[in-house]
Amino acid sequence: MTRFRGVLRASAAALAVIAALAAATPAQALLTPSFRAVDPPGDPTTLWEVDVLDAAHAYAVGWRGYDGSPDTSVLRWDGSSWSRLPLTAGYDVPSPCCVAAVAPDQVYVTGSRTIADVSWPRSAYWNGSAWSEIPPPPGWTPRLPGDEWTGPIAATKDGSLWSIRFRNTSGTDILRLRQGSWTVYPRTENLGLLRAVDGGDQIVFAAENGVVLWDGTAMRSLGRPGVSPRGVYVEGPGRIWVSGYQPRPNRPATPAIARYDGARWTVSALPGDADTASISGDGEGHLILPNSGGTTAPAYLYFDGASWTRVSGPARPSAGYAGAYAVDRVPGTSTILSVGGANVTNLTGFAISELISPR
11 pLDDT higher than 90: no
Which pLDDT belongs to residue 87?
Answer: 80
Contact present, 324 and 316 (Cβ < 8 Å): no
Beta partners for residue 206, in sequence order: 193, 211
For residues 152 and 229, give the distance between their C-alpha atoms in angstroms, rounded to a whole number: 13
- Counting Cα atoms < 13 Å in the Cβ hemisphere of 180 gives 1
Which pLDDT belongs to residue 258?
Answer: 96
The 10s digit of each residue's pLDDT in 45-67 is 889 999 999 999 999 998 876 54
Sheet holding 321-329, edge to edge: 34-37, 348-357, 336-345, 321-329
189 pLDDT higher than 70: yes
Strand, coil or helix: 330: coil
The 10s digit of each residue's pLDDT in 66-80 is 545 557 789 999 999
90 pLDDT higher than 50: yes
Helices (H), the chain: 2-29
For residues 111 and 134, give the distance between their C-alpha atoms in angstroms, rounded to a whole number: 12
- In 3D, which of 245, 120, 236, 108 has the Cα closest to residue 163? 108
42: number of Cβ within 10 Å: 7
Region 20-38: what's the mean pLDDT?
A: 60
Which pLDDT belongs to residue 294?
Answer: 64
For residues 285 and 267, give the distance between their C-alpha atoms in angstroms, rounded to a whole number: 15
Region 134-140: what's the mean pLDDT?
A: 74
Which pLDDT belongs to residue 65?
Answer: 66
Q: Are strands 95-103 and 106-115 parallel, antiparallel or unpaired?
A: antiparallel
| Neighbouring residues of 76: CB distance < 8 A, sequence distance ≥ 6 | 57, 58, 59, 82, 83, 84, 85
* pTM of the predicted model as reported, rounded to 2 decimal places: 0.85
Which pLDDT belongs to residue 260?
Answer: 95
pLDDT more than 70, % of the chain: 79
Least confident of 118-122, 204-208, 238-242: 118-122
Strand, coil or helix: 237: coil
